[in-house]
């Protein structure tokens, strides 16, 4: 695409820049606070506290590997706080990028301009992924910065790899909400569908091993991201590929429906 044709992409980012900055600073602050707490957590008998809890609960919450800095950050930031906040942003924003504009009646006005429906779909999708990437990178920057300054010993390569996987997971749910909104024109339906799948996927990943049903993890997008701790488990290329491919599939399905709908009705 030429720079002139990227006007929709630039416009979508321009209108969201203030909110995106607030989200990035808030996310960095929360993740920074949790990461900075780790040195003081070393003085607490965390293992003893976790042993007092039911093993199934500890495993379901992802707290079974908290003895190292990588395990703590992987569980607290990449597996809970940062992960959950990013999903909230992705689903809310993704569901409103197209469907919200259509609901307000502004999408029809945009399509009367000399721009194709395909460009509108792809450029708004690209703007959505750019916003998600900014927030995910903010998590990486603050976590990596504190790891180096506090000498937590988390390997840079491992942190970057986990961040890429986090981007793919959050991007998938953002794409799902976006595609559902494009297909239905109803932001509430789009957000509800994406949120329902996110909750179901999280529960499958958490409860599957505890009830002896590993297939639940195998079919869960969250399981593809963190069947184990994202920072202490080995890289699984197949699961990474599944996350990327799933985003492509939902985007294509959304486009097939969006390209045929009568948006002026």
Residues 261 and 111: their CA atoms lie apart, in Å, by 13
Backbone angle region of 168, left / alpha / beta, with phi > 0 → left and psi within -120 to 50 → alpha: alpha
Using one digit for the tens of pLDDT, what is the confidence trace for 50-89?
Answer: 565 556 555 555 565 666 888 889 988 999 899 999 999 9
Q: In the chain, how many H helices and how many E strands?
A: 14, 0
- As a whole-number percent, the residues of the chain with pLDDT over 70 amount to 86
Overall pTM surpassing 0.75 (yes/no): yes
List for the chain the helix, strand, coil content (%; round to 5): 80, 0, 20
Using one digit for the tens of pLDDT, what is the confidence trace for 158-217?
Answer: 999 999 999 999 999 999 999 999 999 899 999 999 999 999 999 998 888 778 888 998
For 5, what's the count of Cα atoms within 13 Å in the CB-facing half-sphere?
Answer: 12
More confident: 21 or 264: 21
pLDDT value for 18: 95
pLDDT value for 141: 96
pLDDT value for 68: 81
Domain regions of the chain by residue span: 6-258
Other residues' Cβ atoms within 10 Å of the Cβ of residue 144: 17
């Amino acid at each position: 695409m030429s720079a002139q044709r990227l006007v929709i992409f630039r416009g979508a980012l321009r209108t969201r820049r203030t909110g995106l900055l607030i989200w990035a600073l808030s996310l960095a602050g929360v993740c920074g606070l949790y990461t900075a707490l780790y040195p003081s957590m070393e003085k607490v008998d965390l293992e003893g506290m976790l042993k007092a809890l039911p093993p199934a609960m500890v495993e379901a919450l992802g707290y079974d590997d908290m003895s190292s800095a990588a395990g703590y950050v992987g569980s607290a930031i990449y597996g809970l706080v940062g992960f959950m906040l990013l999903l909230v942003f992705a689903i809310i924003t993704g569901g409103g990028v197209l469907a919200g504009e259509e609901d307000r009646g502004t999408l029809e006005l945009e399509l009367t301009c000399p721009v194709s429906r395909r460009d509108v779909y792809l450029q708004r999708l690209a703007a959505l992924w750019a916003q998600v990437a900014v927030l995910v990178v903010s998590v990486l920057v603050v976590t990596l910065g504190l790891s180096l300054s506090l000498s937590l010993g988390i390997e840079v390569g491992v942190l970057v790899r986990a961040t890429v996987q986090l981007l793919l997971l959050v991007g998938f749910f953002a794409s799902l909400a976006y595609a559902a909104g494009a297909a239905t024109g109803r932001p509430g339906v789009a957000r509800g569908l994406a949120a329902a799948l996110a909750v179901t996927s999280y529960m499958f990943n958490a409860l599957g091993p505890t009830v002896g049903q590993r297939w639940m993890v195998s079919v869960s997008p969250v399981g593809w991201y963190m069947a184990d701790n994202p920072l202490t488990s080995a890289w699984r290329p197949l699961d990474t590929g599944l996350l990327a491919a799933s985003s492509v599939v939902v985007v294509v399905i959304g486009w097939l429906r969006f390209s045929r709908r009568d948006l002026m009705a």
